Every structure is written in structure tokens, then in C-alpha cells.
Structure 1
């Protein structure tokens, strides 16, 4: 493997920030108006590809985050039980009493609305409504399915015989064109 130039090495480290080749090229010092082409060219270079993979591997070892960690986390999030957020009376527990998996990103937000009766000085709070906004847990199942190659989540569908059909249609069009002469 050839050694990278300082600018190419900077591109590799910047690419790992957000996996956006254009932005990485800009941050690495390539001109803004040519950054898209530069990013594409750099990503196609085998030496840069190897440097990116090596840097990802090093980062994975350093952070202890790998495919097993991601899959375990996704599985834990998919299995998390909403009942764990409520007490025996059906009231929402204080956030600090939620299981860790819920506090680490399964709840996107909590909205608390006070309910009142009466008007003016006679107005008194009679209760409140707590609404939880949850993240898309179905997306986690899709990610798990893709990771373990569940065919239900394939994004690309193969069609066999399309090339032969295209050839037949092309020959038929040539015959029609020949008849029109």
C-alpha cells in the first residue's frame, strides 16, 4: 500500500466523521467547487479505501463497538418493555427510575400538559397528561433483519431473464423498423 499524502490522510480522518465524501474533501482542504468530484475520486482509490477500513477497524477496537455490540444493542432496544416505564397504578415513573435502555434513546421526548378546571382565581390544577414520543422501533427490527440477512428486508430484488427479454424486444423493434422501409 502506498503512503497517503497529508491531504489524503486528512480526507480519511474527516470522512470518518460523517461518511460524507464531499464534506470530508472540503474539510481536508479541497476546493469547495471541486469537493464532490474529489471526494468521489478519493473514495475510488484503493489506498484510501484501505486506509478508511484500517481506521474504522482501529476505531472499533478503541471504542469496543463492533457488529456484535450493535446487534446486541438493537436486540435490547427491540425487546424493551414499555410496562417498565409505569408503576403499579399505571402512572409514568420518574425518568431516573426508567430502565437504562429507555433512557439511552428509545424515548424521543416527553410532553407534560397540565389540566385545569375553573377560571381566574378559582382555577385549579386537577391533573396532567404525560405523552411519550417513542423512536421508531420498527426501524431497529429492519436493521437487525438486514444485519442477519432476513430476506424480508432485502432492498434489491433480482429479476432473472430480463436481459433475454430486452434482447427479444430489441430484435422485434428492428424487425418492425425493417418493415417500415
Structure 2
């Protein structure tokens, strides 16, 4: 009797984790399909983020014109919640037209809130045309936090903790 109870409990636990894993995979598939429907091209990078306790996928896509796009997608619903284009640097006309805060000042704001080392900077154009800096900051505990700073106001507008990353943009594309 004890062994059958043990096997049943083990089966139920494994089934639960298998179903949870399957549900997460379905969310990622849905998010990838949603991003591809919005912008055709190929995926450069996938990241799973924790935004205020909510699982979100960040999907970076390169289009046929070598433009780069970033999509944030809710892991549980597959709904795209944000779409941004990326430019190579802060000197881009699309970025400069709304920029009032230097990269150095934006970086200082991000590092004050999330101390560590800046690993990467992206220059993003929001759907409304606004510009923002996205800093990937690695803490001394090995936790990477994405901090987005509005280039017009200098205020932090979004943060997320990176749980994992697959793929990487090459320097040629930056």
C-alpha cells in the first residue's frame, strides 16, 4: 500500500511539472508566432524576463531590411504588450529628435537604482516615437537587470530581471 501511494504521489508531482513545462513552452510558441506575425524576419535573441513578478518573453527580430525590433510578450497569454524598433546608436536621427538626456546621465540614473556593471546598451524607439536607453546591468551577485530610461525625461520607465537568454546580437548588427 505504501509503495503504491508513493508511486501515485510521484506520478502526480511529475505530471504537474510536465504540464507546467508544457504550458510555458506553449506560451513561448505563441509569443514567437505573435512577434513573427507582427514583423517578418528572423529571431536574433530570446530572453525570459521577470517584470514585477510576471513572466515576459523579450523577442528580438531582424527584418529583411536589417532593421531590429524588440517585442515584449506575456508568457501566460501570448499577448504582445510592447513593440519597439532599435537603432544602432544615440546619433540616429530617429533617436536624437526626442533625446534630451545624455547616455551618461541615463546610465548614472540606472546605476544609482541598480548598482553593477553595464553589460549592454540598446537605443530604442517606442511605438509612440519616444526614445529610450535600455541598459543591461549585471550586479555583483550575478543578477542581470534590464533598466529602461526615457531619453527625454531621464526617468526609469521599465525594469525587468533576466532569467535566461538564448542567442546574441553580433557587433556587426549594432
**TM-score range relative to shorter protein:** under 0.3
TM-score normalised by length of structure 2 = 0.23
| Larger Rg, first or second structure (1 or 2) | 1
Higher fraction of strand: 2
Higher fraction of helix: 1
